[in-house]
Amino acid sequence: MRQLQVNPVANPAGPDRVTSAESLPMLDPDTIRRCVRAALDEDSAADDVTTRWSVELGKHGHAEFVAKAPGIVAGLEVARVTFELIDPAVQMLARVADGTSVGPGDVIAEVSGSLRSLLTGERTALNFLQRMSGIATLTARFREAVKGTGASIYDTRKTAPGLRALDKYAVWVGGGCNHRMHLGAMVLLKENHVAAAGGVEEAVKSVRANILRESRPLKIDVEVETLEEFRTALRLQVDWIMLDNMELEDIRCAVREAAQAEWKPVIEASGNITLATAATIAATGVDVISVGSLTHSAPALDLSLLLRR
């Protein structure tokens, strides 16, 4: 097997990102178990009639997770816990680490134990590994697309319901940064919040009054669609300004004005950004590019679990 390399873009700099090579976040064990239990319950893993009726009780075997396409591995611990919850006697040995670049034919991990347990857990383990590795792979491609521009790639809350922690971990493994994890982590005034409040200034003033009232010094990110809204947000000295679906020249203008202002917010570009457009947008000088497709449209990485005789 060829020598495998840990993803070289797994620790990019970002406005809120630690860059230490040892800083890759660990998924909370309870979160992993909650996600895996829900998946096994959904699959009626305790009633796998196909396996129970076709495989003799007591047979043991060995299988390998094999890559069938190039990509970045993520989710190995989730796969391991899948088999553990089905049968604690099953042993899984990772041959690579999360963040490793693999290619067709590379063995990612090995599992051994009861054949019934291996077959029952196969699809659930693959579902997690393929989804998380697909997200990590797409994130790495976006990172490569904006390499050298200074822009960081961020995810959004457009994650699979119930799997946000896994999705965002996979983004991190692929070299991206995590935007707010949940609604209570940061203030993000979107278009509808601004409309409901009566405008950008009214929304920001209301938020700041409640920050003081509740003693919760959270950062404020304001989504703007025009240069007029941008200038209002800049004057109000919010922490982040999200330029949503703005034309390139307007983005360049906003970046220039922010650079000349006394207050320096994080400038974020967002809105249907693709691999084809990411480099051009990053070249405008924005600090952050947030990409919903990292988690809502990443193709699953093609992996298989193969029994070895």
pLDDT confidence band for 309 (50 / 70 / 90): confident
- Check whether residue 184 and residue 107 sit in a common domain: no
Q: What are the distances in angstroms from CA 49 to CA 52, 115, 292, 307?
A: 5, 14, 39, 19
Backbone angles phi, psi at 304, to 5 degrees: -135, 155
> What does the pLDDT read at residue 60?
97
Q: Give me the domain span that covers residue 264.
A: 148-296
Domain count of the fold of the chain: 2
- Check whether residue 171 and residue 61 sit in a common domain: no
> What does the pLDDT read at residue 8?
39
The Cα 297–Cα 159 span in angstroms is 9
- Check whether residue 128 and residue 266 sit in a common domain: no
Known catalytic residue at 223? yes
- Check whether residue 14 and residue 130 sit in a common domain: yes
Of the listed ranges 7-11, 195-199, 264-268, the one predicted with least confidence: 7-11
- Check whether residue 107 and residue 10 sit in a common domain: yes
The Cα 203–Cα 222 span in angstroms is 9
Residue 205 zone, left/alpha/beta (φ > 0; ψ -120 to 50; rest): alpha
- Check whether residue 210 and residue 275 sit in a common domain: yes
pLDDT confidence band for 2 (50 / 70 / 90): very low
- Summarize the confidence of residues 53-73 as an average pLDDT: 97
Known catalytic residue at 158? yes
Residue 80 zone, left/alpha/beta (φ > 0; ψ -120 to 50; rest): alpha
> What does the pLDDT read at residue 1?
36
Give the tokens for residue 263. 């207050």
- Summarize the confidence of residues 262-279 as an average pLDDT: 96
Position 17 pLDDT exceeds 60: no
The whole-model pTM stands at: 0.92
Which residue among 68, 95, 158, 252 is the active-site one? 158
- Check whether residue 282 and residue 162 sit in a common domain: yes
Residue type, 58: G
- Check whether residue 165 and residue 130 sit in a common domain: no
pLDDT confidence band for 27 (50 / 70 / 90): confident
Of the listed ranges 9-18, 76-85, 108-117, the one predicted with least confidence: 9-18
pLDDT digits (tens, 9 = 90+) for 222-231: 999 999 999 9
The SS3 of residue 146 is coil
Which residue among 64, 106, 221, 223 is the active-site one? 223
Position 6 pLDDT exceeds 60: no
Do the strands 240-244 and 220-224 form a parallel or antiparallel pair, or are they unpaired? parallel
How many H-runs (helices) and E-runs (strands) does the chain carry? 11, 13
Q: What are the distances in angstroms from CA 266 to CA 139, 157, 163, 197, 202?
A: 21, 19, 28, 23, 21
Position 105 pLDDT exceeds 90: yes
CATH of the domain at 108: 3.90.1170.20
> What does the pLDDT read at residue 11?
39
Position 20 pLDDT exceeds 80: no
The Cα 71–Cα 54 span in angstroms is 34
- Summarize the confidence of residues 258-277 as an average pLDDT: 96
Q: E strands of 116-233, at which residues?
A: 152-154, 187-189, 220-224
- Check whether residue 107 and residue 213 sit in a common domain: no
- Check whether residue 158 and residue 242 sit in a common domain: yes
- Summarize the confidence of residues 259-287 as an average pLDDT: 97
Backbone angles phi, psi at 58, to 5 degrees: 100, -10
Q: What is the residue-averaged pLDDT of the chain?
A: 93
Known catalytic residue at 205? no
More confidently predicted of 12 and 126: 126
Q: CB of 220 within 8 A of CB of 207? A: yes
- Check whether residue 10 and residue 125 sit in a common domain: yes
CATH of the domain at 225: 3.20.20.70
- Check whether residue 160 and residue 263 sit in a common domain: yes
Of the listed ranges 9-18, 116-125, 296-305, the one predicted with least confidence: 9-18
pLDDT confidence band for 30 (50 / 70 / 90): very high
pLDDT confidence band for 25 (50 / 70 / 90): low
Position 186 pLDDT exceeds 70: yes
Which residue among 123, 208, 231, 252 is the active-site one? 123
More confidently predicted of 1 and 290: 290
> What does the pLDDT read at residue 278?
98
Which residue among 48, 106, 155, 244 is the active-site one? 244
